[in-house]
Structure 1
Amino acid sequence: MPVVSPVSDRRTVVALLLLTFATGLVDAVSVLFLGHVFVANMTGNVIFLGFWFVPHSGVDMVAALVSFTFFVLGTIVGGRFARHLDHDVRLWLATAMSAEVVLLVALSALAGTGVLRYHDNGRLVLIAGLALAFGAQSATARQFGIQELSTTVLTSTIVGLGVDSRLAGGSGHREKLRYGTVLTMLAGAATGATLTRFAVAPVIGLAAFVVAASLAVFHFGKPPAAAER
């Protein structure tokens, strides 16, 4: 059963869109600088792992495997947060999302100071940490039961756009939300790709800031009943 958001539906959508934007930011970093691997959108990594059986495919299988493994671990951590703290939704969100922010800030600092480099084994640590963070985020977002806002997957959202469109004989239900989700992910990726031309670590720091902004919406937003008055 989906959890009841501690804030209004509109604020919930805003908070989840912020998380979607952060996803675009970090996947821009991982694809462009960490070996053409995804750390938040796992569909591509599953395809890459399929290439494992094809010799000389040119794909970095180690990076894909690390990302996939730590993303799954992140979903487990996120699931445990949700189940053990579901008695207080604000506490659950504060704990889960604060952990994500701390991890992203740490990775940004380690990369920015040169402790973790982008072109040696340090990148595997960055991949693992980012995948862990966004696996936990995906598990958290999933609890709200809004299919269009898993924050890390767009395929089903795009399918919904087509199937429910007026061209397909549908009503266009939730069309604005779906377009908003796709455009937000696109904007995050474009922003991340642009910023990585100048610096990489600050983009991870920006993702941490965006996640913190989402947390602020959940934590300080008025409850639904209060927002309606």
Structure 2
Amino acid sequence: MPQVLREARDTLVPDMGGPHGPLPPVLLVLTVLTGLVDAFSYLLLGHVFVANMTGNVMFLGFSFAGAASFSTLASAVALLSFGAGALAGGIAVHRARAHRGRQLQHALLVETVFVAAAMIVTLISGGPYTGGVRFALIVLLGVGLGVQNAVVRALAVPDLTTTVVTRTLTGAVADSRLAMGPGSKAGRRVLSAAALLAGASVGALALLNGHPSLPLILAVSLLAVMATAATPLARSDAPWTRPAGGA
């Protein structure tokens, strides 16, 4: 079997006795979720991301320069909300620092609350999402995705950040044998990029051909499944549950 396919298989169906156990496929699902939520925020909330903060920093620069269609306030609110979520997520994971399964469960439960609240706002308010509703959605989703990124950072599974693709794709090419590198782990890295692409595509298709709330409904459904699956993981004593630094 080619190395790339073997790496992809090992990511989708990981060795439960390995250093990261079931975490790689869980993080791939969360990467799909990131695409869904950012598709919703960018297309319906006015050129703002709630998960990929690099984009918001760029948008702030565009708005400072006077470019149309970019809101300084919206980008700033997204950044601050994400920061608040990262703080909450950091508290959640540090309270369970000795067990990665509990870190994942705690963060998923908190994230689910915020993304579900955003979904409810969309269902009650109806579109278009402007004014206070728009900013409420940015805050709720920004906090939720900040929590997600905090736990992903704590879990420290290589090449599965759920948001940043630039570094992942750079590694896939720069570390390849063609570049005289040690090996690119391209299977896992390509899967990570593909998961984000899939989430963004499904989110955009849902918006363009369905109900505006549909990406968030799908996101909450994924979170509910992941939070349920994390319950037995939080009780596991397998080697992968130990902090990443000691794996």
Structure 2 vs 1, CA of residues 58 and 104 (structure 1 numbering), >3 Å: closer, same or farther?
closer
CA deviation map 1:42-64 (0-9, x unaligned): 11101111234313444111111
CA deviation map 1:80-111 (0-9, x unaligned): 11112224443332222111112211211121
Q: Residues 35-54 of structure 1: matches in 2 within 5 Å?
A: 35-54=46-65
Q: What count of residue pairs does the alignment treat as equivalent?
A: 220
C-alpha distance in 2 between matches for 1:225 and 1:110: 41
CA deviation map 1:114-150 (0-9, x unaligned): 1785133211110111011001100101112124111
Partner residue, 1:169: 180
The answer on 1:210 being equivalent to 2:222 is yes
**What is the aligned counterpart of 1:199 among 211, 224, 229?**
211
Q: Is the 8 A contact 1:104 1:205 kept in 2?
A: no
Partner residue, 2:32: 21
**What is the aligned counterpart of 1:142 among 153, 178, 187?**
153
Partner residue, 2:163: 152
Higher RCO structure (Cα 8 Å, ≥6 apart): 1
Q: Which runs of 5+ in 1 are unaligned?
A: 1-6
C-alpha distance in 2 between matches for 1:58 and 1:126: 18
Given residue 211 of structure 1, which amino acid in structure 2 is its aligned partner? L
Given residue 184 of structure 1, which amino acid in structure 2 is its aligned partner? A
Identity %: 34
C-alpha distance in 2 between matches for 1:41 and 1:35: 15
Worse overlay, 217-226 or 80-89: 217-226
Partner residue, 2:135: 124
Partner residue, 1:92: 103
| C-alpha displacement of 1:214 | 2.5
Partner residue, 2:5: none
| C-alpha displacement of 1:171 | 4.0
Normalised to the residue count of structure 1, the TM-score between the two structures is 0.87
Q: Which runs of 5+ in 2 are unaligned?
A: 1-15, 241-247
C-alpha distance in 2 between matches for 1:164 and 1:92: 31
C-alpha distance in 2 between matches for 1:163 and 1:218: 34
Normalised to the residue count of structure 2, the TM-score between the two structures is 0.81
Q: Is the 8 A contact 1:116 1:122 kept in 2?
A: no
Worse overlay, 162-171 or 115-124: 115-124
Partner SS for 1:152:
coil
Partner SS for 1:148:
coil
**What is the aligned counterpart of 1:189 among 175, 193, 200?**
200
C-alpha distance in 2 between matches for 1:145 and 1:88: 13
Partner residue, 1:83: 94
Worse overlay, 176-185 or 97-106: 97-106
Q: Is the 8 A contact 1:116 1:123 kept in 2?
A: no
Partner residue, 1:4: none
The RMSD of aligned alpha carbons is: 2.1
Structure 2 vs 1, CA of residues 16 and 223 (structure 1 numbering), >3 Å: closer, same or farther?
farther
Given residue 70 of structure 1, which amino acid in structure 2 is its aligned partner? S
